[in-house]
Homo-oligomer: A and B are copies of this chain.
Amino acid sequence: MGSWRDKIRKTEPYIPGEQPKGSNIIKLNTNENPYPPSPKVKEAIESYDANNLRLYPDFVCSSLKSAIAHTYGVNENEIFLGNGSDEVLAFCFMTFFDSDKKVLFPDITYSFYDVWCRLYDIPYERVPLDDGFNIVPEDYFKENGGVVIANPNAPTGIYMELEALEEIIKRNGDSIVIIDEAYIDFGGISAAELIHKYDNLAVVQTFSKSGALAGIRVGYAMANPELIGAMEAVKNSFNSYTLDSLSQTIAEAAARDREYIKDCCGKIIKTREWTVAELKRLGFDTLPSLSNFIFTTNKNIEARDLFKYLREQNIIVRYFDKPRTEKYLRITIGTQKQMEALIEAIRRY
């Protein structure tokens, strides 16, 4: 008995960010939107016919695809939808990186990239950011099995201009370049339209951040129809119906209310600039962020200690205990009121 243990897979568990319950907590650790989703989302839920749930979802997701296509000026067959951009990115990795050459991405970036590479046996190389935490385009001009760039990058928040990004895409005509734009709506310009210029480009976005819909798990990739078709084939051999009916309806309602998303992002950008200025007065250096979080340091304060102190004050931020990031805190931009409470708490510290 018990030798089934030899047959099962042993995986190092990944620990997601803390999701505490309790209304007196200021949660600035997982880059959620502090504002609710569009009022159209509430309407869509209220008018949804529950009886419809007995049926399998529309696995083509045509209605939601049409809303996204309209936003970005792409075609429906240039869109792949998935259960959160994590699933979409995982399918991108599985589909696009099937060679024995190394996939390139920054040493400091979204922490799931190397996890997926290991899971799918994809060789990879973590390319160091420069001393200012910038991505150096020239580092991605060498032979590779693919390239992944988060723009803006996480946890730095630094945005790369489209010209520089386009140079990376252009110089890698024989590999797929994935641009992960989870945070693009907080001040950057999407590379989406470049998919009509470069057939080796895939742009990934999500409704979780600017759409304030982390709870429904909808992400998407935009790329030429051949790449999207290859992704669909991989997905359909795994699970045809990853996106449920209600989530499709909700995401569509949000996608069609682009004005609300813009307003919401505008408020967050304003609060971000205010927060950065206040932190500067308190002696903090903050990397230039075009996302809904900032990466900040203070040479007179141990980041780890400040993290613990804030936790005691019921303010949760994120601390990455790794060589190049251990002097920094990553702080999600909350409401103006929440950020005032944060600044006040740091001032007391």
CB within 8 Å of B: which residues of A?
A: 1-4, 6-16, 19, 27, 30, 32-37, 41-42, 45-46, 48, 50-59, 83-84, 86-87, 90, 94-99, 101, 115-116, 118-119, 145-146, 173-176, 199-200, 208, 212-217, 227, 230, 232-234, 236-247, 250
Q: How far is the CB of A312 from chain B (nearest CB, A)?
A: 22
Contacts of A208 in B (CB 8 A): 56
User: What is the chain B residue whose CB lies nearest that of A97?
Assistant: B7
CB pair B87 A242 closer than 8 Å: yes
Cα distance A58–B214 when bound, in Å? 11
Q: Which residues of chain B come closer than 8 Å to A227, judged between CB atoms?
A: 8
CB contacts (< 8 Å) of A33 on chain B: these are: 54
The answer on a CB contact under 8 Å between B237 and A115 is yes
Q: Is the interface of A mostly helix, strand, loop or mixed?
A: loop
Q: Considering the chains assembled together, what is the distance between the CA atoms of A114 and B291 in angstroms? A: 44
> Are B48 and A13 interface neighbours, CB within 8 A?
no
Determine if B32 and A214 form an interchain contact, defined as CB atoms under 8 angstroms apart.
no
Pick the contact of A8 from B19, B116, B230 — CB < 8 Å? Answer: B230
CB contacts (< 8 Å) of A96 on chain B: these are 4, 7-9
Question: Are A42 and B50 in contact, with the CB atoms below 8 A?
Answer: yes
Query: In the assembly, what is the distance between CA of A334 and CA of B167, in Å?
Result: 58
- CB atoms of A175 and B7 under 8 A apart: yes
Given contact pairs A52-B215, A174-B1, A215-B52, A237 touches B59 in the complex (Cβ within 8 A): no
Chain B, Cβ-Cβ closest to A198: B1
Chain B residues near A244: list those with CB within 8 A.
83, 215-217, 244, 247
Enumerate 11 A-B pairs (CB-CB under 8 Å) in ascending A order. A1-B174, A10-B233, A11-B230, A16-B240, A30-B56, A37-B54, A53-B216, A84-B241, A84-B242, A244-B244, A246-B246
Q: By the criterion CB–CB under 8 Å, are B239 and A84 in contact?
A: yes
